[in-house]
Amino acid sequence: VQLQASGGGLVQAGGSLRVSCAASGRTFSNYALAWFRQAPGKEREFVASVSRFGSSTRNADSVKGRFTISRDNAKNMVYLQMNNLKPEDTAVYYCAAKNTMGRPSIPGTKVTDFDYWGQGTLVTVSS
């Protein structure tokens, strides 16, 4: 599956932004999806994930109550709605996918738990 992230940009602290990821190439609903982020000089970290049909989600503690992951299987899209953004949310945001047919509904939170990656979109939060 090919993934293309978009929607990043510059936003002030306290503001909102939605990043999107378009998928193509395989049966979209076979895949759990996730967002990771990587800040300058830091390792890539898990942000949120969603199961194949959206019934289960998982969020990192740092974004709970502020970020919401969702998906639209009819459009082959996954979204990350980010509210109350903070300067420490500044990072390149990556979407990722894992085929979970016959497996636990949501993979783990490690980079190695996901097999397919998009190119990333930069989110900058100014203070």
pLDDT values of the chain reduced to their tens digit, one per residue, 127 residues: 999 999 999 999 999 999 999 999 879 999 999 999 999 999 999 999 999 999 999 999 999 999 999 999 999 999 999 999 999 999 999 999 999 988 878 999 999 999 999 999 999 999 9
Distance in angstroms (rounded) separating the CA atoms of residues 39 and 88: 8
3-state secondary structure of 54: coil
CB 67 within 8 A of CB 59: yes
